[in-house]
Amino acid sequence: MNNRKAAIAINTALLILVVIWFIPILGLFISSFRPRDYVLTTGWWTAFTKNRIFTLDNYRQVLGGTKYTFVDALGNTVRSSGDNLSQAFINSFTVTIPSVIIPILIAAAAAYGFAWMVFPGRKFFFTSVVALLVVPLQIALIPILRDYQKIGLTGSYLGIWLAHTGFGLPLSIYLLYNYISTIPRSIFESAYLDGARQIVVFARLVLPLSIPAIASLAIFQFLWVWNDLLVALVFLGGTADVAVLTQRLATMIGSRGQDWHLLTAGAFVSMVVPLAVFFSLQRYFVEGLMAGSVKG
Amino acid sequence: MKKIVIFSLIALLSIGSVFAAGTKESVPAQKTVTVFGAFVDEEARRFEEAIRPFEERTGIKVVYEGSKDFETLINVRVEGGNAPDIAGLPQPGLMANFASQGKLVPLWPSALALLEKNYAPVWKDLGSYKGVAYGVFHRVNAKSFVWYPKKAWDAAGYQVPKTWDELKALMDRMVRNGHTPWAVGIESGGATGWVGTDWIEDIMLRTAGPDVYDKWVGNEIPFNAPEVKKAFEILGDIWMNPKYVYGGRNTILTEGFGDSQRPLFDNPPKAWMHRQANFITGFFPEHIQANLEEEVGVFPLPAIDPKWGIPVLGGGDQFVVFNDRPEVREFMEYLQTWESAESWAKAGGALFPYLNQNLDAYPNAIERSLAEALVNAKVFRFDASDLMPASVGAGSFWEGIVDWVNGKSLDATLADIQKSWPK
């Protein structure tokens, strides 16, 4: 009886939390289909009662580029439309995918080394990596930019991959270390007895066994890089050929924020990819969260 | 083994694309000038459009990059050695910072000649640090304007006030008619309060005059000096009177600055006047923007002390040079001419300071009259909060306005702002 009461209490609490979290998102979603003047003057909750006017115009502007009218030097009126989002999507993927794969590969190897290989100073190095977790990345921006400038990496994709790799490594190593160090010793011993070298053990035992942890880490890193604005602005710049999605969305609202209603649609457009990644890796995610939580 | 193969393939692919990206960028196609600024989206488009004749004539490519986080990024990039060729700085203080660090290239003789010829002296002063000119202005904005719904005004028989007394009489007449004179909103996220600082600056210029204004900006008179206090009191007569402002003090504090003009265009209007810079037209409802000339009227905030006439308060981005190259100089000199502005002026939504500009280029009577007011103003002053040290101009001054509207006593508010002035 007590158990059931507890279950009801927990479920009610969860339900309330979910509803509270969901209401603003719902409001945003409904607003994204409303015309500008209605978004600015009336609440989204009136959309189903008195102001039943919906439009796809916000999405059209976000995806297809804002429309402008110009008068050219000869006095002709020219209608032109801003860049659409396809280039920004491509740029975002170009930045994000390597920025997820590279740190995970390095981190997995490092975590394996820290967990199972014996070398002098292992504790010290591992502690330093973990200590780096608390260093905010902002303090590294200017020094790194100076170095990049010297070797010509600013504005290149390689530069931003390496930057994201560096910023992502401490957490990745720490997370994977916790998981990899829980793999039973007997598995390794039998492999070594069979004459397997470290690299083989790493590639054929450690990596496949760590898939849940790697998947959850991949989600974290993907979300972080996909949503990043600052690092991209500093190392990659914001010109149209390299601007990532977050930069395009940030500029879309106009110099003085006069077009902020477009952010409603923009938010959902940029959310699509992280949601797809999350749901496709979700199966591993829950397992991965537990990873390393109880170290045996 | 398969895993290793897959991973090395991925690694190879990434390295391959690195080199692909590298070669793409290392080809020197043509002379390029990079410009970094704070305006984005539509305005960035207009700018690109305005400089196209230059690109076609000279073959020099101008790459403009705009960012909403300009103030942060420009510091990071300059510190990191990745400065753009030209940057458009919104605050003169930012220019002074870079100039004092020796990061900027001073204007050269031919650019100085253009500066003398095409601009009023005030623009040269605003672009100078310790007597050396660094910046040139292109698009600017002017803030001392009052907007009103024209059709409703005509129907109600209201006349544009020429003096402050006429304005006060008009406000009282509106109240007698059951109308609310002003729509005011100062909410602007982290910058909440700047609308109020603009009002205070406008009133300061009209009551104390430009010389006292300059002293105030440099803190040569304290923030709680009688002149400043008087400006706050004049503003308080309007803002603190619930009959004069739509929604009273609560609405002043909570309404976004951009949306606060909306009550003007309700039918019937819930408020009848709105004081804001020329860029507010971009916030008007779409059907109003489409018929701006018929729907909207505008007049400069009237003079208070006739001695000072009708001063204009404004702001603008000044372009400064970080990297000295012939093509950069050429482009800077282009920016100093009306030619670089004409197509943007025609498109609307922007004002330019050039003395020899063709006012007919502006698309409607409203913008023409704004440009006229700007060019003919005997007294033009830059937004004081942009000139003051950031801890005051973008900090305690804004917060002081909010506290004061919230009910804090005027003396305490002004004393606190004075205390926050960096020593």
Q: Output the domain CATH number for residue B355.
A: 3.40.190.10
**Residue B53 touches chain A, beta carbons under 8 Å:** yes
Mean pLDDT, residues A89-112 taken together: 95
User: Residue B45: which of A37, A82, A230 has the nearest Cβ?
Assistant: A82
User: Residue B42: which of A41, A68, A238 has the nearest Cβ?
Assistant: A68
Average pLDDT, chain A: 86
Greater confidence (A295 vs B359) lies with: B359
> What CA–CA distances, in Å, run from B43 to A267, B51, B185, B328, B332?
22, 12, 24, 21, 19
Cis previous bond, B306, omega within 30: no
- Within this chain, do residues B193 and B299 fall inside the same structural domain, yes or no? yes
pLDDT at B113: 96
The residue among B206, B179, B183 whose CA lies nearest residue B195 is B183
Q: Which residues in chain A touch residue B39, judged by CB atoms under 8 angstroms apart?
A: 255
CA distance A5 to chain B (A): 44
Longest dimension (CA), chain B: 89
Per the structure, how many domains does chain B have? 2
Q: B282–A41: do the CB atoms touch at under 8 Å?
A: no
> CA A170, CA A224: separation in Å to the nearest integer?
14
CATH pick for A86-290 out of 1.10.357.10, 3.10.310.30, 3.40.50.300, 1.10.3720.10:
1.10.3720.10
The residue among A145, A120, A289 whose CA lies nearest residue B75 is A145
- Within this chain, do residues B251 and B356 fall inside the same structural domain, yes or no? no
Which helix (H) or strand (E) element contains residue B86? strand B86-89
- Within this chain, do residues B204 and B348 fall inside the same structural domain, yes or no? no
> CA B53, CA B59: separation in Å to the nearest integer?
10
Summarised one tens digit per residue, pLDDT across range B325-348 is 999 999 999 999 999 999 899 888
Q: Which residues in chain B touch residue A230, judged by CB atoms under 8 angstroms apart?
A: 69
- Within this chain, do residues B175 and B105 fall inside the same structural domain, yes or no? no
Whether residue A157 has pLDDT greater than 70: yes
Q: A158–B22: do the CB atoms touch at under 8 Å?
A: yes
- Within this chain, do residues B136 and B82 fall inside the same structural domain, yes or no? yes
Which helix (H) or strand (E) element contains residue B273? none
- Within this chain, do residues B263 and B304 fall inside the same structural domain, yes or no? yes
pLDDT at A20: 95
CA distance B412 to chain A (A): 32
A-facing residues of B in 330-349 (CB < 8 A) are 342-343, 346-347
DSSP assigned state of B314: E
The residue among A75, A255, A145 whose CA lies nearest residue B73 is A145
The residue among A224, A213, A223, A227 whose CA lies nearest residue A278 is A223
- Within this chain, do residues B116 and B156 fall inside the same structural domain, yes or no? no
> CA B55, CA B45: separation in Å to the nearest integer?
15
CA distance B113 to chain A (A): 26
**Residue A273 touches chain B, beta carbons under 8 Å:** no
Torsion of CA A156, A158, A162, A165, to 10 degrees: 110
> CA B331, CA B336: separation in Å to the nearest integer?
9
Q: B42–A66: do the CB atoms touch at under 8 Å?
A: yes
Instruction: Please say whether the beta carbons of A244 and A88 come within 8 A.
Output: yes
> What CA–CA distances, in Å, run from B34 to A275, B82, B177, B232, B331?
36, 11, 56, 43, 10
> CA A235, CA A212: separation in Å to the nearest integer?
32
CA distance B273 to chain A (A): 18
Q: Which residue of A has its CA nearest to B45?
A: A82
Q: A255–B25: do the CB atoms touch at under 8 Å?
A: no
| Through-space distance between the first and last CA atoms of chain B, rounded to whole angstroms | 68
Q: Which residue of A has its CA nearest to B34?
A: A239
- Within this chain, do residues B213 and B297 fall inside the same structural domain, yes or no? yes
Residue B56 lies in a domain: yes
**Domain extents in chain A:** 2-81, 86-290
> What CA–CA distances, in Å, run from B26 to A155, A234, B30, B222?
11, 20, 12, 55
- Within this chain, do residues B166 and B291 fall inside the same structural domain, yes or no? yes
pLDDT at A85: 83
> CA B246, CA B244: separation in Å to the nearest integer?
7
Q: How confident is the model at residue A69 (pLDDT cuts 50, 70, 90)?
A: low
Render A127-179 in DSSP notation, one character per residue: HHHHHGGGS-GGGGHHHHHHHHHHHT-TTSHHHHHHHHHHHHHHHHHHHHHHH
pLDDT at A81: 61
Residue B218 lies in a domain: yes
Q: B65–A237: do the CB atoms touch at under 8 Å?
A: yes
- Within this chain, do residues B165 and B288 fall inside the same structural domain, yes or no? yes
Least confident span in A61-70, A145-154, B183-192: A61-70
Q: Which candidate in B82, B278, B288, B364 is best for mutational testing of the A interface (most A CBs within 10 A)?
A: B82
The reported pTM is: 0.84
Find where tokens 């007590």 sit: A2
Tokens of A47: 């959309």
Q: Can you say whether residue B348 is alpha, beta or left, with left for phi > 0 and alpha for psi between -120 and 50 degrees?
A: left
Whether residue A282 has pLDDT greater than 60: yes
A-facing residues of B in 238-267 (CB < 8 A) are 258-259, 262
Q: Which residues in chain A touch residue B84, judged by CB atoms under 8 angstroms apart?
A: none
Query: 3-state class of A198 per DSSP?
Result: helix
> CA A105, CA A98: separation in Å to the nearest integer?
10
Residue B9 lies in a domain: no
Query: 3-state class of B201 per DSSP?
Result: helix
Whether residue A84 has pLDDT greater than 80: no
> CA A214, CA B164: separation in Å to the nearest integer?
70
Residue B382 lies in a domain: no
Q: How confident is the model at residue A80 (pLDDT cuts 50, 70, 90)?
A: low
pLDDT at A224: 94
Range of the domain at B107: 29-142+314-377
Instruction: Please say whether the beta carbons of B171 and B272 come within 8 A.
Output: no
- Within this chain, do residues B245 and B364 fall inside the same structural domain, yes or no? no
Bridge partner list, B214: none
CA distance A139 to chain B (A): 10
Strand A77-81 and strand A67-71: pairing?
Answer: antiparallel
A-facing residues of B in 261-300 (CB < 8 A) are 262, 279, 282-283, 285-286
Please report the beta strands in chain A, taking only residues with DSSP state E, as ranges in sequence order.
Answer: 67-71, 77-81
Inter-chain CB pairs, A–B, below 8 Å: 137
Query: Which residues of chain B are modeled with pLDDT < 70?
Result: 1-29
Residue B250 lies in a domain: yes
pLDDT at B1: 46
Residue B251 lies in a domain: yes
- Within this chain, do residues B285 and B413 fall inside the same structural domain, yes or no? yes
